[in-house]
Chain A
Amino acid sequence: MKLDLTPEQAFFAGTTRQFLDDKVPTSLLRELRSDPAGFGRDFWRQGADLGWTSLLVPEADGGGSVSGQGLSDLALVAFEFGRYAAPGPLTAANLVTAAVARTGTAQQKAGLLPSLMTGDQIGSWAYAEPRPFERLGAVGLRATREDGRYVLSGHKAPVEAASQADLFLVTALLVAEGDEDGGLIQFLVPAGTPGVSVHPMRTLDVTRRFGHVVFDDAPVPASAVLGEPGTAEADVERQLRIAVVIQLAEMSGAMDRGLELTTEWLFNRYSFGRPLASYQALKHRFADMRVWLEAAHAMADAAAQHVQEESGQAGEYVSAGKSFLGTYALEVLQECVQFHGGIGVTFEHDLHLYLRRATVDAQLYGTVADHRERLTAILEATDG
């Protein structure tokens, strides 16, 4: 997590921390595993009151951040989400509010932002697609223009909180007048639109849910288009970067908590009459883990800062962050499991909650391999 927080940011992060501490003890997380939604609407509205859903929306549109740097503030929330393996569609909700605030028409903003920001409505980004469009950036869902409206046809999955979402931000390929590649186009599609069906998936996280959203020649009006048709590449890229920044903060939080639990364990657990913390074989490995955590914090923060500032290196830091944390957050958490021994792989212990969260984050919005490939392409492009 960022080191030099302003007093306002520290207070803001502290409020979220206290709230999660009160509302989502790990015993509750275990109960929520059999809950279809994985989170309560009241919980989500209260979180929204704390600012979770409005940080990426400008004040003029009813939102507002703590520091003037909304994404950096959101990363503070995401860090706490990682530390608590917290329920709630934080990434999904913020991607939709950010996209509407950024490119929405006045009518779209006025119609959607208030209820999204209060948590009364939940938005989710329908971006990823199943095979053969599984690779990051591949879009197979087609939007065909017909009679002043669009017909959507294709399949999105995994979509976060698909069964709970009231509104989908859908990324599609524009097919106009026989042109197979008219560029990317995005739509705001309410759940329940005829031709749109949702099917829950089985998932790794105890509280985070994912599903299929299938578009079976679903007609949507032109007023549902977000931004200029066929020119959504930059918007999609920005959304992707925000999603990864949230993931990185969440992974570093999960890692942070995992190391905290493991530190306590090493000092309190005795074998052969000595605390585990006295064994050099473990001390040395733990020193390395502590170092990787520090680098993970640094990369998560650096990525957030570059994307916040829309710097020329934003894409580079996002993909480097994903490559690094997607690897080391998982490795370090698995080491935490190893240090715990058998108890570390039980459902009753808390450690798996953080391992699950970090693993889910590592695999979505581009795998480590996807982001390494992107990074190489960026290096080639900037290497003259």
Chain B
Amino acid sequence: MAEQDIEDLDSFRHRLRSWLRQNMPPADPRLAPYHQLSDEEELAQVTNHRELQRRLYDGGFAGIIFPSEYGGAGLTPAHQEVLNEEIVGYEYPARFQVPTFSPCAAVIYEFGTEEQKRNHLPRIMRGEEIWMQFLSEPGGGSDVAGAQTTAVRDGDEWVLNGSKIWTTGAWWSDWGLCLARTNWDVPKHRGLSVFMLRIHQPGIDVHRIEMLNGSREFCQEFLTDLRIPDTDRIGEIDGGWTVGTRWMYHEKSLGISHYFIRPAGSMRGVNPWAPTPLAVARQAGRLDDPVARQLVGEAHALKLAGQEGSIRISRGIAAKRLNDQAAGMSRILTGLINTQLATINLKLAGASAVAWDSGDQMLGEMGVEFLMRQVRQISGGTIEMSRNAVSERLLGMPREARRDNDVAFREVPRSAPGR
């Protein structure tokens, strides 16, 4: 689309604002955090989000920066930012954003064949396909290129065997983007390929994992003689790490990406419904406690620093002042800040964080959230991976020694079987 044909931001904002008012329901601030939903409620919410995604599509507001031939709106990152601002206060198809739009749709858009793109992207925009990442494996979390799930060619098909883990909501999702090993006799990064697979089919067993906060959101899948057509391979055979590198970039960029809706003022890794430290202090009856007031101020300053810092990093990458590896900076920043916020909330909630009555449920959740604190530095690739990337590939410091380059993957030392 020629630049002069693109709707200007003010007109877009105006049109979007009135459309939202007429078509999208207001956000429900009483909506419980996800892990408290029963399975029935969760499925109902997924169905609702599919419907909301469809509404966005019908209104011309789905996939803002995806080209219109793939069902997107064909607009710019600046339009996405307008949408992020205007959608605050409305319910939106939150379950479609990550990882469906990014990394999955972004990867399909960058590496898919024309047919693959025309097949899947419009379905995603219309709310018909929810995607998950079949990436991490029980044998290694952050070292995703060490995938051991194996795909063996058989005529026009591939036969997959192995196990993937930490897929969010695989039990109600439709498709998975899967990184698999297609060659064990070449070095690690040169024997991988990427496949698209339907999650609910014979050959895939989905198990739900219970987290320590009671969430059963994460899944582990067991792939047993799963057959998929070669037409569902994305990118070159054994060229999967070319795809994987961009895939990882999208994953690390979630805090600054324009591929999906991230309501303004929200930060990656933070439940937008989570009570603010001010609300926690108020519930705990400690707003007249100078120590609590210090913590509330400290937390708010950190939150703003996380937001403003992420915006600056994002602009730095867009302006090429920082290279792509700077996405790791935003991951480190939000990881460091969000863990501190969880600790502050624990302090504010006091004794009620560990022993509470139903009237103080909010304070009890702060205790549970504290137990889950390190998720903010683990999920989406551990913070240590980002520290390596930033120090080595942004700042140019010497790389760590490794024992998996220039040797057939078959020969590389590996973890013992098990998680």
Contact = CB atoms under 8 A, between A and B. Distances in A.
A222 interface: no
A376 B390 contact: no
B391 A286 contact: yes
A109 B316 CA distance: 42
Nearest to A278: B398
Contact of B304 (A263, A291, A294, A320): A320
A376 B305 contact: no
Interface stretch (B153-161, B290-298, B408-416): B290-298
* Of listed A267, A291, A302, A372, residue having the most chain B CB within 10 A: A291
A297 B313 CA distance: 10
Given A277-B398, A371-B297, A287 B390 contact: yes
B397 A373 contact: no
B211 interface: no
B315 interface: yes
Contacts of A379: 276, 278, 296-297, 300
Contacts of A295: 305-306, 308-309, 312, 333
Given A290-B329, A324-B302, A376-B278, A297 B296 contact: no
A299 interface: yes
Interface string B184-203: 00000000000000000000
Contact of B294 (A294, A372, A380): A372
Given A291-B390, A323-B301, A275 B309 contact: no
A274 B391 CA distance: 16
A204 interface: no
A47 B302 CA distance: 35
Contacts of A280: 388, 400
Interface string B296-340: 111011101110110111011001010000001100110010000
B69 interface: no
Contacts of B394: 290
A299 B312 CA distance: 10
Contacts of A375: 296-297, 300-301
Contacts of B309: 291, 294-295, 298-299
A324 B384 contact: no
Interface string A300-334: 01100000000000001101110110011000000
Contact of B391 (A3, A284, A301): A284
B287 interface: yes
Contact of B293 (A274, A283, A316, A376): A376
Contacts of A278: 397-398
B394 to A, nearest CB: 8
A85 B294 CA distance: 30
Nearest to B328: A287
A317 B287 CA distance: 21
Contacts of B39: none
A327 B306 CA distance: 14
Given A3-B316, A278-B397, A291 B301 contact: no
Contact of B392 (A267, A283, A319): A283
A327 B319 CA distance: 29
Interface in A143-182: none
A37 B181 CA distance: 70
B271 to A, nearest CB: 19
Interface in B375-394: 384, 386-388, 390-392, 394
Contact of A324 (B304, B336, B391): B304
Given A263-B395, A287-B391, A373 B305 contact: no
B81 to A, nearest CB: 15
A1 to B, nearest CB: 11
A30 interface: no
From A277, A298, A383, residue with most partner B Cβ within 10 Å? A298
A33 interface: no
Contacts of B332: 287-288, 291
Given A283-B391, A290-B329, A324 B312 contact: no
A315 to B, nearest CB: 12
B395 A290 contact: yes
B26 to A, nearest CB: 17
A287 B298 CA distance: 23
Interface in B325-372: 328-329, 332-333, 336
Interface in A238-284: 263, 266-267, 274-275, 277-278, 280, 283-284
A380 B301 contact: no
A45 interface: no
A294 B297 contact: no
A79 to B, nearest CB: 14
Contacts of A275: 398
Contacts of B321: 3
A382 B152 CA distance: 61
B333 A320 contact: no
A374 interface: yes
A372 B308 CA distance: 18
Given A298-B308, A376-B278, A291 B329 contact: yes
Given A290-B395, A298-B311, A299-B308, A284 B384 contact: yes
A291 B392 contact: no
Interface in B245-291: 276, 278, 287, 290
Interface of A: 3-4, 263, 266-267, 274-275, 277-278, 280, 283-284, 286-288, 290-292, 294-299, 301-302, 316-317, 319-321, 323-324, 327-328, 369, 371-376, 379-380, 383
Q: What are the 5 closest A-B residue pairs judged by CB atoms, nearest first?
A: A372-B297, A295-B309, A323-B301, A283-B391, A375-B297
20 contacts: A3-B312, A3-B315, A4-B319, A277-B397, A280-B400, A286-B397, A288-B332, A290-B394, A290-B395, A294-B316, A295-B305, A295-B306, A295-B312, A298-B309, A299-B304, A302-B308, A319-B301, A323-B301, A376-B278, A376-B296
